[in-house]
Structure formats: structure tokens, C-alpha cells
Amino acid sequence: MTTVTLIPGDGIGPEITEAVKAIFEAAQVPITWEEENAGQTTFDAMGELIPASLIASLERNCIALKGPITTPVGKGFKSVNVQLRQKFDLYSNVRPAKTTAGVKTRFENVDLVLFRENTEGLYAGLELWDERLGIADSIARVTVDGCYKIVRAAFQYAQKHNRKKVTVAHKANILKQAGRLILEAAAQVSKEFPEVVWEDKIIDNMCMQLVSKPEQFDVVVTTNLFGDILSDLCAGLVGGLGVVSGANIGDDMAIFEAVHGSAPDIAGQGLANPTALLRSALMMLEHMGLHDKAKLIENALEKTLQDKDCCTRDLGGKASTSEFAQHIISNL
């Protein structure tokens, strides 16, 4: 049995977490959950956004599944997600986007994996505000080390999963400094992976290509802000944030997470779709080498998604979160 830290999160987090727990129990997945929360819920209850007991649990287990966490816009606390990524150097944000039978989309054959640098760039936290001059600066700090690490992670993934091509998305034509490093890193790292073809695309063209011919992409790697935007764009290509998985991976720790938010508009009503969190949990099983269990649950999920009556409202069905989970369990 492996112990995994479970962070239910805010809003719909607890409901979708319960669904995943029930499915894992039914599939006899050999893991034990260690539940520790973070975010608005712990802030309201104990005045702490990221309790010390959560940090201790993460340090002990080095693997976690996380629900969505509310972040106030503009003022208030710094994003818990960003803090965890930076504290544990979870530099790879990995976001697969694959079309699924049963989930209606404009495209039929999208199958790509996006690697977003997760700790630096415009999210480095280097922000200045000069009240007198009325000037705001947000500095994109990109490092050679950071670029090599994310590019290497993308090429290693391509090699391991028999994928043929890595595309580097950038804006080096305008950002002569912060934009060029990832390209230089790709030129060097690609030499270690001669069987993987690579190309670069300027970010604006990349967006246009993605929304018109997404099937041409295989593995994509980019810096933090571009990756943040592209990853949701790619989610939109395959059915939206409710059905895609995500992971934050470093050298010593991995946190798998639902990529959507805490959905306060539907929280507590049994309307939430647990697919995104479930798929992230399946990525976690793959990461742990539990391939058979991951496949078993993925097959049951795919079968369930093909029957609209079994699905939640966002997918055109009428089932509640727990009914949807029960249908997956019946299909195991």
C-alpha cells in the first residue's frame, strides 16, 4: 500500500474527491489516502492557507492528489497552487489533451501532451507598483536551468511514450532575452534524443494552428504564461476543463490535480463532474506504475461517458456527481 496525500480543496472539491475515493475503493487500488486540506476552507477554519500538517504530509509521501482551490482575484492571499509549485520545485505542469468517444468536440483525433514550465517566467512573483508614476512591472524571469529542465522533461516523455515530435512554443522574435532561452535549451537537449523530431512555433501562430489543425501536435513545451493559456485552449479542444487531467511534477514530488476551479456556482449541489479529478488520479496511478488499475478505471470511465444518461449536467446528462461515480463503478 502506498500512502497518498489527498487535498479535497474548496467549493466542489470535496464532492468530486468523494467520487474518486469511491471509484478507487471499488477498483481495489492499493493506496491509502492521508487527507489534509488547504485553501479557503482551512483559512476560514484555522486561519491557515497551507497548514503545516499538509506540508509535513507532502514531505512524507511525496505524492498527492489535489482538488481545486479558491484564489481571490486582485487582493487577498497568493495562490495556493503557485505556492506549492514553487515551494516543492514542481517545474513541469503536464496536461494531456485527448479526444474521448462520447464527449462531443469539434475535432476527432486530438492526442497531445503539453509541458508548461510551472515555477518561473511571468509567474516568478517579481512585481513592482510605482504609485507616483502609475507604472506596474511584472518581470518574466526565465532561467537557463529552468528551460533545460522543462525541455528535458518534454523530450524524455516523448521518448518514453513513443511520441514522435516535440513542438517548442515561444515568442523569441519579440522577447529577445526571456524568449530565446527555451529555444536554445531545445536545440541542445534535442541532441540527446535523435529519434524525436522537434520544431518551434511562435506562440501566436501556435494558437492559430492549434484551433485549426490540432492533430498535427504531439508533445508541446513552453514557458509559464503561454503554457497556462495553451493548456486551457487544448482542454477546450477535447471537451473542456471538466474532462482533462493535470499534474505538477518535480524531481522529488508530484501533485496531480483537477485543472478546473472550485466552481462556487454549483458547489454543494451534486452537479459537479468528477472526470477531471478522476483522470488526474489515473495519471497518478500511471506515475506510480499501477498501469492495470489505471486502464481498468479509464475503460469504465470511457464506457460511462458514452451513455449520456449516466453523465453529469455539463456533459448533457442528468446524473448527480455520486450517481455518475456509481455508473463508473458498475462499468468496472
**Whose CB is nearest to ligand NAI?**
261
Select the residue interacting with ligand NAI from 100, 151, 257, 301 (CB under 6 A). Answer: 257
Give the contact letters, 77-96, x = binds to ligand NAI (CB under 6 A), - = no.
----x---------------
118 closest CA partner among 156, 79, 74: 79
The smaller minimum CB distance to ligand NAI, of residues 181 and 237, is found at: 237
The smaller minimum CB distance to ligand NAI, of residues 8 and 179, is found at: 8
At closest approach, how far in Å is the CB of 266 from ligand NAI?
4
The smaller minimum CB distance to ligand NAI, of residues 214 and 246, is found at: 246
Answer yes or no whether residue 266 interacts with ligand NAI by CB under 6 A. Answer: yes
Answer yes or no whether residue 37 interacts with ligand NAI by CB under 6 A. Answer: no
Select the residue interacting with ligand NAI from 262, 280, 304, 326 (CB under 6 A). Answer: 262
Answer yes or no whether residue 8 interacts with ligand NAI by CB under 6 A. Answer: no
The smaller minimum CB distance to ligand NAI, of residues 167 and 273, is found at: 273
Answer yes or no whether residue 314 interacts with ligand NAI by CB under 6 A. Answer: yes
- From residue 272, how far is each of 18, 246, 269, 318, 328 by CA, in Å? 11, 18, 8, 11, 15
The smaller minimum CB distance to ligand NAI, of residues 57 and 81, is found at: 81
Answer yes or no whether residue 272 interacts with ligand NAI by CB under 6 A. Answer: yes
Site size toward ligand NAI, by CB under 6 A: 21
At closest approach, how far in Å is the CB of 323 from ligand NAI?
14
At closest approach, how far in Å is the CB of 269 from ligand NAI?
10
Select the residue interacting with ligand NAI from 108, 130, 131, 265 (CB under 6 A). Answer: 265
Binders in 115-174 for ligand NAI, by CB under 6 A: none
Q: Kindly list the residues in this chain that would bind ligand NAI in the complex (CB under 6 A).
A: 12, 68-71, 81, 241-242, 257, 259-266, 272-273, 276, 314
